[in-house]
Structures are given as structure tokens and as C-alpha cells.
Amino acid sequence: MIGAPSVAAVDWGTTRLRVWLLDAGGNVLGERRGDDGLITAREKGFAAVLEHHLAELGAPLALPVVMCGMAGSRQGWVEAPYVDTPAPITAILEGAVRVAGTARDIRIVPGLAQRTAGFPDVMRGEETQLAGAGLSTSGRHLVCMPGTHSKWVEVEDGVVASFGTWPTGELYSVLGAHSILRHSLGENPASVAADGPFFRDWCLSALNEGGDITSSLFAIRAAGLLHDLKAGDAAACLSGLLIGGEIASARRRYRHTSAPVVLIVSGSLGKLYAAALRIAGIRVTEIDADLAVRSGLFEAARQNGMIASKGATA
Amino acid sequence: MIGAPSVAAVDWGTTRLRVWLLDAGGNVLGERRGDDGLITAREKGFAAVLEHHLAELGAPLALPVVMCGMAGSRQGWVEAPYVDTPAPITAILEGAVRVAGTARDIRIVPGLAQRTAGFPDVMRGEETQLAGAGLSTSGRHLVCMPGTHSKWVEVEDGVVASFGTWPTGELYSVLGAHSILRHSLGENPASVAADGPFFRDWCLSALNEGGDITSSLFAIRAAGLLHDLKAGDAAACLSGLLIGGEIASARRRYRHTSAPVVLIVSGSLGKLYAAALRIAGIRVTEIDADLAVRSGLFEAARQNGMIASKGATA
């Protein structure tokens, strides 16, 4: 049974924003997606952008809002502190920060920071996906969340032990637009097919090189000059090289674990990562990223007392 | 003894150009450097740019001109063909191509292409540096020519056996200007000191990671957020990571050779590479890149019969 809206859930990233109206059971009553992410919101004002989307969804004026992502960064609306690793997943969402000076109850979920183990690292938004992914609270999981800045997370008995960032999506767009490879990929790089031979071959090559991608980037350009490689195929080469390189690199870092990879992703990017992980011979469990982040935001609203609990919270 | 000019030697790259007036003995009578490389020359016209520089140097109207670099590319003045590997170094310079429709005798040295062994690859300009480096024609050499697109070349008994490209300089500028690291490095990245701790530490880290740089790029940003890493130090981190990564990757590719590295480079970039190779424990012989390319161009002029030979040509 679908009820009245209990909370609005917002995933506010650097370049895009998603808003859902949820009832007390977490059911979706309405949804909006916009490209007014952090960059746009810094110009137009966070409150104005949010209220516009809520009004379009017909949200009541008193409806509370829970959000995650870059809205909580230093360049965002209100800086939400980081929770440090090692961090129990159920504890991350508890400390949502209230946005002051708004009529609504608006709270932003903390990010995660790794200050000591391995490389320094941060995440904002993926911790909420992780909390909503429904991982069992016992055993080891290796979680991959692909994107502009792909995150790999080691979870042990419900605790985030460590994580890392591979800026694969950003490398793809920056190299395609601003490096010599722009001559190879062309103005509007074609979408890449997960089952094409160029994606597969360059993915395999990157896996064999152990995550070293710099030695073969220029070969995409040279293959255009010497072997007449077409723009669409060049895009597949670059995509295969970068995704294969990310997987090889992560496999090296997490070689001590034999856990299958939990892939939290949506859409066409998911097909590329699933194919690349198969090529690497890695077992994969797939979880939809949209479902996961919505579920995590709903859980955050409950843990922060923003909606009436329908049962025991974790 | 300094004589009258016998030839003008031109190294015409993507972003810059250098012109020398040389006498019959290869002595320098005049020099000009400009930032009117390929990109500018395509707008203003190659002949106009060249004649301007020659006029400023007071070059006679009949003086022949020998050139190497991107002026011979498909986007250049006249496309000079590639010589395929394996290629005897002394044979590369022979086939200089005449620019048609000019009063002067203007010729462009061919580039090198690798069509079969390993990754497809091309070079234009570095083959002339190589020819002018004075390598002995017996034994094995591993040559490193740092730059926007660093080249590593395996030379066996005077023959280019294979080569590879690492786009280290381009990655540094593109990531510093267009990726999230622009927030870390700032508007005008500081010049990097070869003896600083950040350059050394990140170089070491990249060497230990075997050339995998993607796993630690984002850590530069995170170190700014979590540990207040300063802009100048972030530039040193990125430089150390990329140069160390290039060396680790090249060392893996050329692990079958025990030859010391011949480093052909000029200026501050040379200090960074020399330091990084020392950190990697690699023996280095340094050769000045400006001297090498000028010497190679002079040799090309002799081999193509553009000036009277003072002795036996190779």
C-alpha cells in the first residue's frame, strides 16, 4: 500500500542530482533527476535548486529532506564531517548534519575518510550506497562502485576496513577531451559496447599489464595513424584500457582477499564493468546503485529520527 | 674557426620551434626559439613563420633548411613518410623529403614507426635527437627522451629495435588543468624541485606500484582535504608519481636489458628525470637534448647532400 510522503531523499553529486519522495515504508511516490549538481547549485543557491525540485514533485512544505553526496562537502551547502575508517556501516548514517536557517528539517549524511591506512582517501555519497546495498553483516566483501571516481571498499563483518579511489570516469572524459587522444576519439565519443572486440582486447591488455595504463595510452593515437583505427573503436580501446586497468590495480591491492566482488552500479556503465570483471575471471554479484542509494537514504532518515520507524532500526 | 652559414637547422614541434644557423663545420652562428609550433604555424602558414625567423637571423635567401619534428606530420607542412622499425639509425635521416614550391631547398626528416613489434607507435623529432646523440654503433642502449610524450628506445648495434611512448608531460598538464587535481595544484602549478621530499616519496611509491598510477592520483586531492597538502607540494606529488610511474613501467617493459639508461634531455626536466632514475637505482648517462637534435639535423643535411661534406659521412 502506497502512503503519503514521509521524507524526500536526495543524492546530490558534483554534476547531477536525484530526488525521491518516499512514504513511511520507503516506497517511491515520485522521482526527479536534474543536471543541477554541486557546480550549478553553487551558482543558483542550494535552497533554490532543492525547493524547485520539491515543488515540481508536489512535496508538502514541512516534508523533511535527507541527502548525501557533494552537498555535504567543503564546497557544498553545509560541510558534513567525515566518519573515519575503520567504520561500522550502520554507524556512518547516524551523524547526519542539520542545515541551519531552513524551515524544513534538512540533514546531510557524513562522508567517509581514510586518514591512516594506505593512501589518504575520501568519499561522499558512496557510503550511503554501501549502507543501502543490503550486505550481510558477517564475512568479507569487496565492493566496487564505478563512476567518475570509482570506489573499491573492503568490508569485514559490517565494518568498512579500507577503501580506494580510481578516477576512471574522469580520466576517460579528460583524456578524450583534452589530450592528444581527442584527435582519435573525435568530438562526441561514441558509446562503447561491452561485447565489442576492441573493448575486450584492450581490457585484457590492461589486465596483463597489472594496471599500468600509461605505457599504452599513446598506442591508441598511433593505431589511428598507422592502422586507421576508427573513432568509435578508439573510444572502446580507451574504455577497455581504463576499466581493465582499474580492475587490475584493485585486484593487486586487494590480493589478500578471495571475496567475490559486489558491483554496485546502474545503466550502461554496469554492463562495461560486469564484462570487464568477467574477462578478469572475477565472480560478481550485481546490485542496482539507484536502489542502493535510495535505500541508504531512507535508512539514514530513520536512524536520525526524521520519520516514524515501522520496525526496529539496525 | 667560425665560417659563413651553410644550413639552417629547425626542430619544429607541436608547441615550439627552434632554429639554428650552422656553418659547414656544424658550429652555431645564430639561434632563435619561438612558441610558434605546429598549432600556430597551421594558422599563420609554415613558410611565413619560417621566413620570419630566418630573416631575424639574417639568413641568406638561398640558405638550405633541414627540419625535423611535427612539421613532417600529416597535420604539418609536408608529410614526411615514416621509416619502419627495426631501423639502422644512420638510415633514418637519409630520406628527407623536399618541400615543394619553395625557392629554398627545404627538407624534412622522416619519423619512425613501429607497426609490428609490441604496441603501435610513432615518433617525429626524437629520431633526429637519437641520431645526433653519438651512441656507439655496437652494443645495447636503452635511451630515454623525456617530454610531453616521453620516448624510450631500445638500440642494438646501431639499430632501433623497438620503442615506446609514455605521455607523462601531457598527463601532468592535462590532469593539472582539467581534472579534480586542478583544485590541488592551483592556477599556475609551481615548478618542482628534484630534491624535495614530496617528489621523492611519490616517485618511490610509483616505482613500488610498478607503474600503476591510477590507484594513487586521487590521494593527492584527498591529502589536500585531510592533511592540508599545499599546492606546490601537490605539484611535486603529481610530478613524482608520473615520472616514477613512467620509469617503473619502462623498467618492466625493458627488464630483459641490463644496459644503463642514456638520458637525452635539457633543463629542469632533466634534473627531475635524473633524480628519479637515481631513486630507481638505475645508472644514467646524460646527453644534452639541444646539442643532440642540432647534431642530428646537421648530420641529416650532410647525408642528404645539402652541404659540402668536410669528411666521410657515415
Distance from CA of B165 to the nearest CA of A (A): 6
Question: pTM to 2 decimals?
Answer: 0.94
C-alpha cell at B216: 594513487
- The answer to whether the CB atoms of B214 and A171 lie below 8 A apart is yes
Instruction: Name chain A contacts of B184, Cβ cutoff 8 Å.
Output: none
pLDDT at A232 over 80: yes
HSE-CB at A280 with a 13 A cutoff on CA atoms is 31
CB B96 within 8 A of CB B296: no
Residue B266 makes CB contacts below 8 A (sequence gap 6+) with B288, B289, B290
pLDDT of B92 reads 93
The four Cα atoms B36, B37, B41, B44 give a dihedral, to 10 degrees, of -10
Neighbours of A281 (CB within 10 A): 8
- The answer to whether the CB atoms of B170 and A180 lie below 8 A apart is yes
pLDDT of B188 reads 84
Instruction: Name chain B contacts of A211, Cβ cutoff 8 Å.
Output: 209-212, 214-215
Instruction: Name chain A contacts of B177, Cβ cutoff 8 Å.
Output: 178
C-alpha cell at A90: 550502520
Is the ipTM reported for this complex over the cut 0.90?
Answer: yes
The overall longest dimension of chain B from CA atoms, in Å, is 65
- The answer to whether the CB atoms of B179 and A167 lie below 8 A apart is yes
Find the closest chain B residue to A202 by CA distance. Answer: B119
- The answer to whether the CB atoms of A218 and B242 lie below 8 A apart is no
Cα A101 vs. chain centroid, distance in angstroms? 29
Separation of alpha carbons B191 and B120, rounded Å? 33
Q: What angle do CA A101, A103, A108 make, to 5 degrees?
A: 70
Separation of alpha carbons B79 and B12, rounded Å? 13
HSE-CB at B52 with a 13 A cutoff on CA atoms is 12
Instruction: Name chain B contacts of A179, Cβ cutoff 8 Å.
Output: 167, 170-171, 174
CB A240 within 8 A of CB A206: yes
Of B207, B189, B227, nearest to A121 by C-alpha is B227
pLDDT of B308 reads 67
Beta strands in chain A (DSSP E): 5-12, 17-23, 28-34, 65-69, 82-84, 87-88, 97-98, 106-108, 111-114, 121-123, 140-145, 150-156, 159-166, 261-265, 284-288
Q: Chain A to chain B, count of Cβ pairs less than 8 Å apart? A: 136
Cis before B88? omega within 30: no
Separation of alpha carbons A307 and B4, rounded Å? 90
Distance from CA of A314 to the nearest CA of B (A): 30
HSE-CB at B135 with a 13 A cutoff on CA atoms is 32
What separation in angstroms does the CA of A103 have from each of A23, A45, A51? 21, 16, 11
Pairing of strands B97-98, B106-108: antiparallel
pLDDT digits (tens, 9 = 90+) for A184-215: 999 888 799 999 999 999 999 999 999 999 99
pLDDT of A1 reads 52
Separation of alpha carbons B90 and B249, rounded Å? 29
C-alpha cell at A230: 576508427
Q: What angle do CA B152, B153, B159 make, to 5 degrees?
A: 175
pLDDT of B15 reads 86
Separation of alpha carbons A132 and A9, rounded Å? 13
- The answer to whether the CB atoms of B212 and A248 lie below 8 A apart is yes
* CB nearest to B178's CB, from A114, A149, A174: A174
Distance from CA of B199 to the nearest CA of A (A): 16
Find the closest chain B residue to A205 by CA distance. Answer: B119
Domains assigned to chain B? 5-126+292-303 (3.30.420.300), 168-282 (3.30.420.310)
- The answer to whether the CB atoms of B222 and A249 lie below 8 A apart is no
C-alpha cell at B9: 637547422
pLDDT of B256 reads 85
Name the stretches of chain B with pLDDT < 50: 311-314
pLDDT of A258 reads 80
Instruction: Name chain A contacts of B112, Cβ cutoff 8 Å.
Output: none
pLDDT of A312 reads 41
Instruction: Return the amino acid letter for B56.
Output: E
Neighbours of A304 (CB within 10 A): 20
Residue B303 phi, psi dihedral angles, 5° rounding:
-65, -25
Beta bridge partners of B154: B142, B162
What's the mean pLDDT in A7-25?
95
pLDDT digits (tens, 9 = 90+) for A95-137: 999 999 999 999 999 999 999 877 999 999 999 999 999 999 9
Residue percentage of chain A with pLDDT more than 90: 89
- The answer to whether the CB atoms of B149 and A218 lie below 8 A apart is yes
Separation of alpha carbons A133 and B284, rounded Å? 52
- The answer to whether the CB atoms of A212 and B212 lie below 8 A apart is yes
3-class DSSP state for residue B80?
coil
CB B276 within 8 A of CB B203: yes
Please, which contacts does A145-152 make with residues 24 or more away whose CB atoms are closer than 8 Å?
A145/A264, A145/A265, A145/A289, A146/A243, A146/A263, A146/A265, A146/A269, A146/A270, A146/A273, A147/A269, A148/A14, A148/A15, A148/A173, A149/B180, A149/B218, A150/A246, A151/A123, A151/A126, A152/A250, A152/A253, A152/A254
pLDDT at A157 over 90: yes
pLDDT digits (tens, 9 = 90+) for A52-95: 999 999 999 999 999 999 999 998 999 999 999 999 998 999 99
Residue A99 makes CB contacts below 8 A (sequence gap 6+) with A77, A78, A106, A107, A108
- The answer to whether the CB atoms of B165 and A222 lie below 8 A apart is yes
Separation of alpha carbons A304 and A54, rounded Å? 21
The overall longest dimension of chain A from CA atoms, in Å, is 65
